[in-house]
């Protein structure tokens, strides 16, 4: 049985930062770090009293971006976050270092994490207590070099504002789409994605010699809650359900999971408490938003 982990960050500087908690879901944290690392080797973690956020953001807001938000109540117990920056702590660090450290913590009895300095540089230090094959307790120390961000440096780090969608649709299984895109990339460098409000989804590539389309039918178009939005302002609800909306995508970016030219393609991934997919479950762990604007 996976033990609870102790999570503690502190830094005594002119800008006070303090975070402490017990980790109750090391698996999700590790899976999130691995997922975001595939998009960017360096990313940002935002720690707040209510949620923990992983960010991949490009300069000027151009290019592939990802914003993952996890509810602290599904990750931690007795967590505390304090700072002079609205009780938020922002860290920039290597995904490889963090994912490796968290992998060691998955089967541990406990793990303490603290923000400290070594050689006068900030380091996220994980001290992991685990059990060896002989039953003897072993202590592992993992150091993740990081950079703390000031309030001024974080002002532009936010999700882009995107217009209401022309189509919203539940996607086919992600691995099915990825495998198909892997095969299509030998035909053309760009992929056309089409969808409508009648449950149809099409992946299309074309070259001088080949035209290839893959059709998915009877997919779900989620219902929009009228109490949350003005339905008259939703393009997806004010068009012919059979009319296709489409975007042209760099197929390499699609395989990573998002991308566009002149339009926006946004993917929302809902995360279950075990780190798997979670659809329509109010007790889910959080979400990942992939977008390019």
Residue 286 falls within a domain, yes or no? no
Residue 279 falls within a domain, yes or no? no
Burial label for 227, CB within 10 Å (0-12, 13-18, 19+), is exposed
* CATH code, 97: 3.70.10.10
* Of 229, 232, 182, 227, nearest in space to 203 by CA: 182
36 lies in the same domain as 134? yes
76 lies in the same domain as 21? yes
Residue 92 falls within a domain, yes or no? yes
Q: What is the pLDDT along the chain (293 residues), one digit of tens a residue?
A: 455 555 555 544 445 677 777 777 888 888 888 888 888 899 999 999 999 999 987 665 555 678 888 998 888 877 888 888 889 999 999 999 999 999 988 888 888 777 788 898 888 888 888 888 888 999 998 999 999 999 899 887 877 667 778 888 998 888 898 899 999 999 999 999 999 999 999 999 999 999 999 999 999 998 877 777 777 778 888 889 999 999 888 888 787 764 333 445 566 666 665 555 444 444 466 776 766 54
CA distance 61 to 46: 18
40 lies in the same domain as 125? yes
244 lies in the same domain as 178? yes
57 lies in the same domain as 133? yes
Evaluate whether 128 touches 207 at the Cβ level (below 8 Å).
Answer: no
CA distance 240 to 42: 43
Residue 270 falls within a domain, yes or no? no
- Continuous H helices in the chain: 26-37, 95-105, 151-154, 174-184, 251-256
Residue 228 falls within a domain, yes or no? yes
- pLDDT 10s digits, 57-90: 766 555 567 888 899 888 887 788 888 888 999 9
Cα dihedral sign, 238-242-243-249: positive
146 lies in the same domain as 206? no
- pLDDT 10s digits, 183-224: 999 999 999 999 999 999 999 999 999 999 999 999 999 887
pTM: predicted TM-score of the whole model, two decimal places:
0.71
142 lies in the same domain as 33? yes
Residue 287 falls within a domain, yes or no? no
Q: Any residues with CB less than 8 A from the CB of 255 and at least 6 apart, and which?
A: 178, 181, 182, 185
Domain enclosing residue 143, as ranges: 5-154
Task: Report the phi/psi class of residue 127: left, alpha or beta, with left for phi > 0 and alpha for psi in -120 to 50.
Answer: beta
55 lies in the same domain as 147? yes
* Of 196, 242, 235, nearest in space to 219 by CA: 196
Q: At what angle do helices 26-37 and 95-105 cross, to 10 degrees?
A: 160
Cα dihedral sign, 17-126-40-182: negative
Q: What total number of domains does the chain contain?
A: 2
| Domain endpoint, select from 154, 189, 220 | 154
35 lies in the same domain as 117? yes
178 lies in the same domain as 135? no
138 lies in the same domain as 178? no
Residue 274 falls within a domain, yes or no? no
Residue 241 falls within a domain, yes or no? yes
18 lies in the same domain as 63? yes
| Domain endpoint, select from 125, 154, 183 | 154
| Domain endpoint, select from 97, 120, 154 | 154
């Amino acid at each position: 049985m996976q033990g609870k982990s102790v999570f503690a960050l502190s830094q005594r500087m002119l800008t006070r930062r303090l975070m402490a908690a017990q980790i109750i879901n090391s698996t999700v944290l590790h899976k999130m770090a691995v997922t975001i690392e595939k998009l960017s080797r360096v990313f940002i973690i935002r720690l707040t009293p209510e949620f923990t956020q992983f960010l991949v953001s490009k300069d000027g807001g151009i290019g592939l971006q990802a914003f993952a938000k996890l509810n602290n109540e599904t990750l931690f117990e007795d967590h505390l976050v304090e700072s002079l920056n609205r009780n938020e702590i922002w860290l920039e660090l290597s995904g490889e270092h963090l994912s490796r450290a968290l992998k060691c913590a998955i089967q541990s009895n406990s793990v303490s994490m603290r923000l400290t300095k070594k050689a006068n540089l900030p380091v996220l230090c994980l001290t992991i207590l685990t059990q060896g094959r002989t039953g003897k307790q072993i202590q592992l120390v993992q150091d993740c070099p990081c950079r703390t961000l000031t309030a001024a440096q974080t002002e532009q780090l936010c999700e882009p504002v995107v217009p209401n969608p022309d189509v919203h649709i539940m996607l086919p299984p992600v691995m099915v789409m990825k495998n198909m895109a892997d095969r299509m990339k030998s035909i053309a460098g760009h992929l056309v994605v089409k969808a409508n409000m009648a449950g149809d989804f099409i992946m299309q590539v074309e070259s001088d010699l080949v035209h290839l389309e893959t059709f998915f039918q009877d997919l779900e178009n989620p219902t929009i809650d009228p109490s949350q939005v003005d339905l008259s302002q939703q393009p997806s609800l004010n068009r012919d359900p059979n009319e296709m909306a489409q975007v042209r995508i760099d197929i390499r970016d699609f395989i990573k999971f998002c991308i566009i030219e002149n339009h926006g393609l946004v993917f929302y991934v809902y995360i279950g408490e075990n780190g798997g997919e979670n659809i329509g479950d109010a007790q889910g762990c959080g979400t990942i938003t992939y977008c390019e604007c």
